[in-house]
Amino acid sequence: MLRISFYLLLTFSILATTTTAGLVWWLVPQLPDTKGLRDVQLQTPLTVYTADGSLIAEFGEKRRKPVTIEEVPLTVRQAFLAAEDDRFYAHPGVDWIAIVRAGVDLLQSHKKRQGGSTITMQVARNFYLSREKTFARKLREIMLAIKIEQELSKNEILELYLNKIFLGHRAYGIGAAAQVYYGATLEQLTLAETAMIAALPKAPSIINPIFNPTAALRRRAYVLRRMLELGFIDQTRFDNALAAPQTARLHGQQTQTNAPYLAEMVRSSMLTMYGDAAYTGGYRVYTTLHSELQAAAVVALRKALLDYDRRHGYRGPEAHVDWRAGNETQAPELLLPYPPIGGLEAALVVALEERGLRALTAAGEHITLGWDGLAWARPYLTEDSRGPAPKRADDILKVGDVIRLAWAPASEPAKPGDPPAQWRLAQIPVVEGALVSLSSNDGAVLCLVGGFDFEKSKFNRVAQALRQPGSNFKPFIYSTALDHGFTPASFINDAPIVFDAPGLETAWRPENYSGTYSGPTRLREALANSRNLVSIRLMRELGVAKVITHASHFGFDPKALPHNLSLSLGTGEVTPLALATGYAAFSNGGFLVTPYFIQRVETSDGKIVQTADPLRACEECAPPETLDEEGEPLDVEALKAQTTGRTAPRAIDAQNAFMMYSMLKDVITRGTGRRALELKRPDLAGKTGTTNEQKDAWFSGFNGRITTTAWVGFDSSAALGNLETGARAALPMWIDYMRVALKDTPETELVAPPGIVTVRVDPASGALVGVGQRNAVVESFRERDVPRATTEAKGTGSAETLNSESERLF
C-alpha cells in the first residue's frame, strides 16, 4: 500500500511538473517585453499654467502626479511595504513563502483571507494583464514578475507601483491620492494620513474613507500595526496615529490662478492638435497669462459688475427656506444648493435686528451684517428706477432668506483711505462683462476674463460674444480719414441730420448722446467728445466701402460689418478680443498682431514640443506703403506681401498710428474718458463706447506696451439703463485693471515718426498761425498736409459756411 501511494505521488508530481513546464514553454514566448517599463509613459492629465508657472487647470479622466522614488518620503514607502509586501526587498519578484502561507490559510478557513501577490506581481498585472481570475493568468503574472525583477531595480519597480496604483476617486498614484484626500503633498502627510492612503490598494472603492470611514479606519489600524511589528515606527507614534481622527475629504485640484475661460480655450486647442492624447499624454501648457494681471482682471471685472448691480437696486433674496431658531446644524445642508459664485458666499438669515441681521454660512460661520452693508438695498423696479430707501432690516429681508455676502472692500483694489473691510449684502449680477489685455508688441494675451464666474456661465464673452461696439469703433473711421487727406484739424459739421430714403418706414434722425450740437468741429475734438453726427458725415464723405476696407486692415471681417452709414455708430458686431486686436495697432505703431495664448507645450519630462513664434511689431522697420499708386488702401494680402521675416503686417503706417494715438490721448485728458486721469499716466489713450439704448458699454485703451478692452452688457442685449455709458459702466473696470498692470512700469508711448510735423493752428479755422496768437493749439500733421496760413484744413466747407442747423438727405 505504501509503495502504491509512493508511485501515485511520484506520478502526480511528474504530471504536475510536466504540465507546468509545458505551460511555461508555451507562455514564455507570449510574454511581453518588459524593457519598455523603463520608459513607460503613464497616463497623466493635461495641466495648464500661467507664463510664471502658476497652475490654472487640469484636464483628464485620471488624476495623477508622478513622483520619483527619491521624492517619496521614507514613511510613505514603509507604509506601503507594510500593507502590501513587507519582503519586497528580499524576494525575487515572487514571494513563495507568502504564497504557501496564503494557500494553507485557504485550506484551513475555506476563505481567501491572505494574498500572495507581491508588489512586483501587481506591477505586472497593472501594466500587462487583465483582471480575469484563471490559473493561466496567474502563471503569466508570476513569470512576468520574475522577468521584471531581472530588468529593473527594486526602487524602479516600487516607483512604478506607487505611480500606477489606483487609489479611488480617479486618483492614480500616491501623489494624486495625497492631493485628492488631503489637499496636500506627500511631504505634508501625517503618519495617520499616510497609513490611510496605504490602506487603499486592497479595495479602493470599498475600503474608502469617503464612502466607508469605518472600514477605512480598520484597514488603517492594520497598516499601522504592521508598521509597528516591522519596526518602522515606535509605540508612541503608533498610539498617536491610531488615535488620530479620520480627516480625509475630497479636494479639487488646487489651482493657483483663476482663469477658467482661457483654460477652456487651451483645452480646445490642445484637443485639436493632439486629439484624445491631449488628456493622457502629460502635456504641460504654459500660457502667455501673467498671474498677477489675471488676478487683477478678475477683481476688476467682478467689482464693476457688482457696482453696476448696486446702482440699480436689490432684486431680493436668492431663495427662502423653512428655518427654526436653534437648529443651526441644518444650515450647511440647506445652503448646499447655493455654492459660492464669483466670490459671493451664500448665507442663511437667522435673526433680524432693527438695522442689522445675523446669518449663518455654509461653513457654519456666524456673520453679523450692519446697516452699512444693507442700506444700499433699495428695491429694483426697472433698469432706470428703484423703490424707496429701506429704513429697517425687515424692509429688505426676513428670517429664512438665502442671501449672498461680499467681503468689502477686500474684493476691490485697496486704496489709501478705504474703510475697514466688512461684510455687506450682495447679489449675483445678471449683467455680464468681459476683459482682455494684450501685449501690443506681439498679441500675447496677458489676461482674459470671459464673465462674472465660469460656473455661472461658461460662455466666453471675450472670444465668443458678438456685440455692437458703438462709439468704440469710431477710431477706425477716423484712421480711414487720415489716410484720405483729412487731418486732426479738419472740420466736420456737428449738426442735426435726417435720413429719409425710400424703403425706410420712418426717417432716421441720429443724435449725439448729449442731445447737443457744436457746429463746425475739428476731428480731434469730435473724437475726444464722441460726436455721433461728425462720424456720420465723415463716413458719408469717405464712402462706406473705404471705411470697411480700411477696417479690414485691423483684422475685422468685412462681411460682418454693415455696408451702410450705420457703421459710423458702431452697429457691426465684433468680439472684445477683435476690438483689442484692432486697438493694438494704434498702440504699437501701426502693426496688426495676432492674439495668441499658448507660449509653449512641454511633455511630462520637460521636453518642449511646441513654442510660439508670433509676428511682432517692428518699430525699426521702414514703414511700407499702405496706399496704392492711385491713393487707394491696399488690401490685407498686399500688406502682408510687404512683410518680411517675423514682422507683423501693417494695418496703418506709422504716421497714421501716431496721429491716432495723439487724438485718443485727448479722449482721456479732456474727453469722455477723463475718469482715467486718476491713474496719473500721460501715456494713456483710449476710447469709450456706448451703443444705441445703452445695450453695450465699452472702453478700449492702451499705452505703448499694453492694450486692454473692457465690456459690460446683458447676454440678452437688454438695455443697461439711461446713464450706463462706457465711461460709467466699463471704464472703471479698465482703470482698476490697468492700475495693477502699469504699476512700476515706465511711461511708454509712441514717438513721432519721420514725416510728422507739429505746428500751431487756429482752433476756429485749422489754419496755420504765427507765434503771437494766444488761443492757438498745437497739432500734428503729415508734412504734405500742413495747412497754409491763409487756408483752412480740409473739411466740409469753411467755418463760416457750416452753421446750418439741419440737413435732409434724399
Crossing angle of helices 213-229/191-198, nearest 10°? Answer: 110
Answer positive or negative: Cα dihedral of 238, 240, 243, 245: negative
Residues paired with 172 in a beta bridge: 166
Distance CA 318, CA 330 (A): 18
Are 780 and 659 contacting, i.e. CB atoms less than 8 angstroms apart?
yes
Candidates 697, 257, 592; CA nearest to 447 is: 257
Assign 151 to helix, strand or coil.
Answer: helix
Is 365 marked active-site?
A: no
Angle between helices 213-229 and 235-243 (to 10 degrees): 180
d(CA 94, CA 32): 18
Question: Taken in order 139, 142, 146, 151, is the CA torsion positive or negative?
Answer: positive
Q: What whole-number distance in Å separates Cα of residue 715 and Cα of residue 433? A: 9
CA pseudo-torsion sign 256, 258, 259, 260: positive
Grid cell, residue 140, equals: 503569466
> Cα 28 vs. chain centroid, distance in angstroms?
53
Phi, psi (degrees; rounded to nearest 5) at 319: -165, 175
Which residue, 568, 572, 468, is CA-closest to 510?
568
Instruction: Give the DSSP H or E segment for 439.
Output: strand 432-439
Assigned C-alpha cell, 609: 514640443
CA-to-CA distance for 142 and 101, rounded, in angstroms? Answer: 16
CA dihedral 295, 296, 302, 304 (to 10 degrees): -170
CB 208 within 8 A of CB 168: yes
The label of the residue with cell 510613505 reads: 76
Establish whether the linkage from the previous residue to 763 is cis, with ω within 30° of 0: no
804 is catalytic: no
Rounded CA-CA distance 570/580 in Å is 15
Q: Which long-range contacts (CB under 8 A, 24 or more apart) does 182-185 make?
A: 182/247, 182/248, 182/251, 183/251, 183/254
Choose, from 54, 439, 440, 471, the residue flagged as catalytic: 471
The alpha carbon of 670 is separated from its chain's Cα centroid by a whole number of angstroms, namely 34
Cell of 694: 445703452
Q: 775 and 745 in contact (C-beta within 8 Å)?
A: no
For residue 61, the 8-state DSSP code is S
Which residue from 388, 291, 387 is spatially nearest to 56, judged by alpha carbons? 291
Q: Say how far apart CA 98 and CA 114 lie, in whole Å.
A: 8
Q: Looking at 557-653, list the stretches that DSSP marks H as alpha helix, in order from N- to C-terminal side.
A: 576-587, 636-641
Which is catalytic among the residues 54, 58, 84, 779? 84
Q: Which of 329, 323, 330 is nearest to 350 (CA)?
A: 323
The dihedrals phi and psi of 84, each to the nearest 5 degrees, come to -115, -35
Residue indicated by cell numbers 472692500? 409
Write the CA distances from 387 to 311, 370, 384, 428, 765, integer angstroms: 12, 21, 11, 19, 51
Three-class SS of residue 723? Answer: coil
Q: Which residues are catalytic?
A: 84, 471
